[in-house]
Amino acid sequence: MTLRVGVVGTGAIGKTHIHRLSYTLSGAEVVAVNDADEAQAQMAVDSEQIDAKVYKTGQELINATDVDAILVASWGPTHEEFVLASIAAGKPVFCEKPLATTAEGCRRIVDAEIAHGKKLVQVGFMRRYDQGYRALKQTIKQDTIGAPLMLHCAHRNPAAPGFSGDMAITDSIVHELDVLRWLLDEDYVSAQVILPKSTRLADQGLQDPHIILLATTQGIRIDIESFVNCKYGYDIQCQVVGETGTANLPEPASVTLRSEAKFSRGILTDWKDRFVDAFNTEFQEWIDSTLNGEMHGPSAWDGYVVAVSSDACVQAKREGRIVPIEIPERPPFYRP
Ligand code: ISE
């Protein structure tokens, strides 16, 4: 059986997902696309040489009888509408982060999914599918370094065209907010944001870098550096400091050169390349579980918890103080 997927949003990430579903992975076929820019949607079909119908609206695509599942890769503020429509249609939906741009929007999706009675929503937190993060989680699980006490993380982009305001948190650090709670199997209880001297190489007026300090329910302390104009490359770091040792997120494989009296290794510059294998694993597992009528990935509840935590980080930045992160008890519907 083949999963017939409708893709809403054919921008950069939507196009890479269309390609991976059509040519890289197995078990799925893109049969429908929609974009606010209809010409762009048609160009995606033509350039990927797929037999997919272009729909004028996301709603029509979602309700099409030959679409089994939805992939939402449109502009963030449209996610809530399309995810709610997918739930109303009773169709599985993969939503790229963010699930919704507000915690309230995420909660509306959680409530709609609970009312529907079956989990349909998966959120695109792809780092859980990265082999490096999975190895780090296994190291913790095996008690190799004792109980985690602190985490030191960095999320560095070479550049962030169009970034403004709090996007370093709401668009970038949301990945750490999801993957670290998954890594530690703990939620957060407080957030603080430190504003170091800002780089002169960021867009005018953009604070960059940030340091985000988090505490977890068991008292683990986390510091995350967000630097979205670091210039040298796309560099993701995560060190777990335990009672008896430390464990670092593996660096992506790359050749070590010895030439011209120097050692050197390449550093990737694009997040789509750094996590290409994670994206492929994430979507292959989504295809397989959806064909089996199951949903095992990051849920709407995970999207909601990240939104609540992200809002607290933004509030901590704006108010210059430590802000409590108050996450309601997980509904039984979302318990393992
Ligand atoms: C981007 O939207 C992503 O999702 C990337 O994973 C992240 O590293 C980048 O900072 C975001 O802008």
For atom 2 of ligand 1, the residue with the nearest CA is 171
Q: What is the arithmetic mean of pLDDT over 147-159?
A: 98
Q: Would you say residue 235 has pLDDT above 90?
A: yes
Q: State in Å: Cα 236 to ligand 1 middle.
A: 11
Domain locations in the chain as residue ranges: 3-123, 131-270+305-334
What is the Cα–Cα distance from 263 to 198, expressed in whole angstroms?
A: 31
Does any ligand 1 atom lie closer than 6 A to the CB of residue 156? no
Confidence of residue 261 (pLDDT cuts 50, 70, 90): very high
Q: What is the arithmetic mean of pLDDT over 214-226?
A: 98
The third-level CATH classification (topology) of the domain covering 3-123 is Rossmann fold (3.40.50)
What is the Cα–Cα distance from 313 to 191, expressed in whole angstroms?
A: 6
Residues 31-68: tens digit of each pLDDT: 999 999 999 999 999 999 999 999 999 999 999 999 99
Confidence of residue 83 (pLDDT cuts 50, 70, 90): very high
The chain-wide mean pLDDT, for the chain, equals: 97
pLDDT of residue 186: 97
What is the Cα–Cα distance from 7 to 30, expressed in whole angstroms?
A: 7
For atom 9 of ligand 1, the residue with the nearest CA is 172
DSSP-derived letter for residue 171 is: I
What is the Cα–Cα distance from 253 to 129, expressed in whole angstroms?
A: 16
Long-range CB contacts (within 8 A, 24+) of 260-268: 267/232, 267/233, 267/234, 267/235, 268/233, 268/234
Does any ligand 1 atom lie closer than 6 A to the CB of residue 229? no
Q: State in Å: Cα 157 to ligand 1 middle.
A: 8
Q: Would you say residue 104 has pLDDT above 90?
A: yes
Q: State in Å: Cα 156 to ligand 1 middle.
A: 10
Does any ligand 1 atom lie closer than 6 A to the CB of residue 171? yes
Residues 158-186: tens digit of each pLDDT: 999 999 999 999 999 999 999 999 999 99
DSSP track, 25-63: SSSEEEEEEE-SSHHHHHHHHHHHT---EEPSSHHHHHH
Q: So what CATH class is 131-270+305-334?
A: alpha beta
pLDDT of residue 237: 98
pLDDT of residue 336: 87
For atom 12 of ligand 1, the residue with the nearest CA is 172
Q: What is the arithmetic mean of pLDDT over 150-164?
A: 96
Does any ligand 1 atom lie closer than 6 A to the CB of residue 178? no
| pTM (2 d.p.) | 0.97
For atom 3 of ligand 1, the residue with the nearest CA is 172
Tell me the HSE value of 269 on the side-chain side, using a 13 A CA sphere. 6
Residues 186-213: tens digit of each pLDDT: 999 999 999 999 999 999 899 999 999 9
Q: State in Å: Cα 171 to ligand 1 middle.
A: 6
Confidence of residue 314 (pLDDT cuts 50, 70, 90): very high
Which atom from ligand 1 is nearest to the alpha carbon of 155? 8
